[in-house]
Amino acid sequence: MSLFKNLWVEKYRPTNLDDIILPDDVKDKFRTFQKEGKIPHLLLVGPSGRGKTTLAKIIAKELVESSYLYINASDDNGIDTVRGKIRSFVEEASPFDKSHKTVILDEGDRLSPEAQDGLRNLIESFQHNARFIITANNGNAIRDALKSRCHVVDNFALPKKQCLVRVKHILDSEKIEYDVENILKIFDDCLPDFRKVVEALNISSSTGKLIYKKESTDVGKLANVVQQSLANKSITVEVVRELLIKKQDIFESYEDFFNLVHTVFYESKTALKDKRKVTILIADFNENIKFVKDVELSAYALLIKIKAVLFPETLK
């Protein structure tokens, strides 16, 4: 079973401006950029789950049609990243770019003060051939000198009508039976975080019919607790294992549950290299699960392996 097979958050991630959920005036602004074939430096500010990162990639690939460099500033947030990876990228000319090269700095509010100062200098030095798109949950963490060089977009309110259209599209595509009342219950519990909406849809549609109870999102909460516990050095694997055994009644299979844990890991502040290692471990677990006799034992072994990735000394 593919790791992403049942993860609707990935499967239905928007790939163009028409699909992404944004206020009409914000969409119109980006359509204007698209017609002009160029963009200003951008600072996209808003809470998580609103589509900032997806929008940044759509801008680079669809609106500007340029090669782009993606940096997750929660992993690479120091001045060396600015002087090394980013500077090398913007300095190198590409004959395939129709417009400016684009640098996407995701979670830019995690950049160190020195990195922000260095980035400001790069923006000034390479104005002629590069554009920078910075996303941030906390706009106040971006220095004024850097913010003043960007066009700030901070209206990421999600129109409920657009959300409903998108949700119906997902459910129809998956051939799920549903009624609007259940969808609206999910909206009440999960909006304005649309990512949580899609996760709740995914979890609540396992039978082929959308049956939403607030308790059904407990599996998502459990995945968050497991991820946070594994990422906490002071919490042992045995504690996490006991938690899973006690809560096993709220998830249907270890396979689907660890897929959800994987999603939580990728949304966490875990270092990218460790996220990739965790991905391989969970994919191997899913691939081999049908051959094992004791699934609980294999799940325990997976917990140990993930903990060892994050804290190698725990195996000593």
User: pLDDT digit string (tens) for 111-133?
Assistant: 889 999 999 999 999 888 889 99
Q: Prior bond to 23 cis, omega within 30?
A: no
Rounded Cα distance, 15 and 58, in Å: 6
Mean pLDDT score of the chain, rounded to an integer?
A: 84
| Arithmetic mean of pLDDT, 91-115 | 79
* pLDDT tier at 95, thresholds 50, 70, 90: low
- Better-scored residue on pLDDT, 3 or 231: 231
The answer to whether 201 and 216 are in contact (CB under 8 A) is no
How many H helices and E strands in the chain?
Answer: 15, 5
Over the stretch 171-201, which tens digit does the pLDDT of each residue have? 999 999 999 999 998 998 888 888 889 988 9
- Asked whether the predicted pLDDT for residue 232 surpasses 60, the reply is yes
Residue 81 is predicted with a pLDDT of: 84
* H-helix segments, the chain: 8-11, 24-36, 52-58, 79-81, 87-91, 113-125, 144-147, 160-173, 180-190, 194-204, 218-230, 237-246, 254-267, 272-288, 295-310
Nearest to 220 by CA among 246, 187, 250, 182: 250
Residue 269 is predicted with a pLDDT of: 79
Rounded Cα distance, 310 and 313, in Å: 9
73 φ, ψ (degrees, to nearest 5): -70, -10
Residue 97 is predicted with a pLDDT of: 53
Full set of structural domains in the chain with CATH: 22-153 (3.40.50.300), 218-311 (1.20.272)
Q: Can you give the C-alpha Rg of the chain in angstroms?
A: 21
Over the stretch 15-40, which tens digit does the pLDDT of each residue have? 888 899 998 889 998 888 888 877 89
Rounded Cα distance, 255 and 266, in Å: 17
| Arithmetic mean of pLDDT, 200-228 | 78
Counting Cα atoms < 13 Å in the Cβ hemisphere of 71 gives 28
Burial class of residue 47, CB neighbours in 10 A (0-12, 13-18, 19+): exposed
Residue 146 is predicted with a pLDDT of: 93
